[in-house]
Structure 1
């Protein structure tokens, strides 16, 4: 039997096993994660390397849990949330609408920054809008297989750029190995949590099950290949993030160089690379930065649109997997429109303070929501007994919950301080 994209129920060949996991990992590694890791490296050298590795392990656990639930039950993650009570819809509905509006503007601006630096003839806003329209066209008309190939190219470019930058700095291997031993330098707790919690995605982790379905992996017989896909994807992500920390430690920490906050911090790093190794190094890094930003944009335009489509379809009583909720369906396309065009207004008019505050509050709460609901779903009769959590999975998810709760409280305190 074939799915909508021509995939079959038979297990894939070895060269076909990579895809959905790489999409989740690539989508989740955005500019904010890179800057957080760079800052950790610039402030503490290799001391927080273990936190980056821990972050990858935690995300492997969460994504594997989301994938395992989808394959074991044949249900989407939103169907699982619905089974926990109406409160999940009351949270998720407003969150995904507000998140999409603000993220759309942030993603387009984030892609515009490096492209403007590479090709200054066009402004950041113009480049951002062009990238938004490109993403719109690709996910509106493109099939899943094409989307997956484009994302693989983006991942290759960002990986080569960052790993290449790390290799240029000639990392101190003994110091790097010492950084794998957990330690907490004075004042580093928030940096530790930011690095561990920020590696590899937020809401897009929950999109994994939808990408599995679009790939044609939708029964328990794909459990082994799903786990391989997820593990390899986050190993690649781990190498990418570790490379970022190496650059921060060798290029910034050792020289006492501070970088700007936010996405502009990556532009600062491109300037440092160009000054140290020549203009070509800065340009290669900017290409990688642009690829990382564009992969996040494309991943959200596709994956979160599938989540929204499922939310609307289930709210309207449609069967799971209804055509209106799949790639190309009308609810899927509604959200693509929402991500692309209304946020352009924010790019020209500035970002309303109240909207940004609400976005920050809701965004901070999503990862604890995901971790807690996965614990609930994977330890009850909502999941067949064979595929429920084992002790180590529960322990890892509890650690995830604690880390993301502390980060949420920190973020909420920051947003409340802005109100004051």
Structure 2
């Protein structure tokens, strides 16, 4: 597989033993954070802050812990078997690659179109007068081209750059918000945990909405691209995935500060992605032009990084599904799944073409519903497969699930199964 690091034979990097050295190898977790944080997270965080202040951060922490359990298990499964994630998942059920292929094909139809439209909205808020539809199509095509042009090392550096822009904008605006308040302690005073009015399903939906879904399954491919292949890399992989979710908590905390300072107690809230763009105006009126622009730049790169990271991760997943279904042996996985390979390029081309067509014609309601349904089913299936595979006696004890891992994965299985059933019930 093409990558910034040679991973074949004796040239694979050796696992570092010192923590200072290990930190230099981090990267897939940052990619996951950039790909997993989306406009939906921004809307949810700001809307929650409008009603509860900082009181829902505990929900974010719970969601992060649950998704970290899945992500760490995905990375550990790769290190345990040396096989691609989909090849390992197939051993839990020969039908699973087919299920994932169908899910991913439907997600790929709508994914780029939905996100590129949101990114175009953010760009128009930055530069009024930009035509939204042509811009959305251009962003989807440019994102696909960016995935196809570079090797993994270049892709990782680009995603790190996006992450920096995302975080600087939100954190700087949050700091400016606290500095402009007469009593910044009023924001911290809302940190007391609260429970949203309504039902437990509201809390479960908030927990499940933190940090993406399909990108978690792709984490194993990004780990593979780094050349992490044996137990010596376990501490690096765990630190890498933990940092990913720590970044998500920090980002959401910054949004919560913004939402609390601007909206809490006002009776106003955020309604969809249009509300995100509209929030920039009261932010500018309160803090000035620079914080307003930084927020909009952050909003734009949050969405663009989700498109680029999603295309890359979904590309690996779909190309590997095809390989596993066709029975191509693991020894040929690198060649079949390389960014320069025909299957990977065909998949990315499919994403780009679908995005352009659906943006141009409008998003059919049926496809959007299927996208929501299949997206909600990926994590319970993945959690169940990881519980089965990583508790097998054939797995070396260094990689086998601990009690904490089993609790985390079981919680994820129950949580996302309940949310999936609720999603189906709501549709029908």
Paired with 1:80 and 1:5, the residues of 2 have a C-alpha distance of 23
Question: Is 1:139 matched with 2:147?
Answer: yes
Q: For 1:251-270, what per-residue CA distance to the aligned partner results, in whole angstroms no more than 9, with x for missing partners?
A: 11133222222x22211222
8 Å CA contact 1:309–1:326 kept in 2: the answer is: no
Question: Is 1:124 matched with 2:153?
Answer: no
Q: 1:383 to 1:111 in 2, by over 3 A?
A: farther
Paired with 1:67 and 1:177, the residues of 2 have a C-alpha distance of 38
Q: 1:120 to 1:268 in 2, by over 3 A?
A: closer
The answer for the alignment partner of 2:235 in structure 1 is 224
The answer for the alignment partner of 2:14 in structure 1 is 10
Q: 1:394 to 1:345 in 2, by over 3 A?
A: same
Q: 1:293 aligns with which of 292, 297, 303?
A: 303
- The normalised TM-score by structure 2 is 0.91
8 Å CA contact 1:40–1:195 kept in 2: the answer is: no
Q: 1:187 aligns with which of 188, 195, 198?
A: 198
Paired with 1:370 and 1:382, the residues of 2 have a C-alpha distance of 19
Question: Is 1:237 matched with 2:244?
Answer: no
Size of the aligned set, in residue pairs, is 413
The answer for the alignment partner of 2:41 in structure 1 is 33
The answer for the alignment partner of 1:168 in structure 2 is 176
Q: CA deviation at 1:122?
A: 2.5
Q: 2:414 aligns with which of 402, 405, 412?
A: 402
Paired with 1:260 and 1:19, the residues of 2 have a C-alpha distance of 34
The answer for the alignment partner of 1:44 in structure 2 is 52
Aligned partner of residue 398 in structure 2, secondary structure: helix
Gaps of at least 5 residues in structure 1 are none
Paired with 1:365 and 1:396, the residues of 2 have a C-alpha distance of 18
The answer for the alignment partner of 1:318 in structure 2 is 328
Q: CA deviation at 1:161?
A: 1.1
8 Å CA contact 1:143–1:327 kept in 2: the answer is: yes
The answer for the alignment partner of 1:374 in structure 2 is 386
The answer for the alignment partner of 2:294 in structure 1 is 284
Q: 2:68 aligns with which of 47, 60, 65?
A: 60
Q: 1:3 to 1:363 in 2, by over 3 A?
A: closer
8 Å CA contact 1:368–1:404 kept in 2: the answer is: yes
8 Å CA contact 1:73–1:384 kept in 2: the answer is: no
Moved over 4 A (4+): 171-175
- The normalised TM-score by structure 1 is 0.92
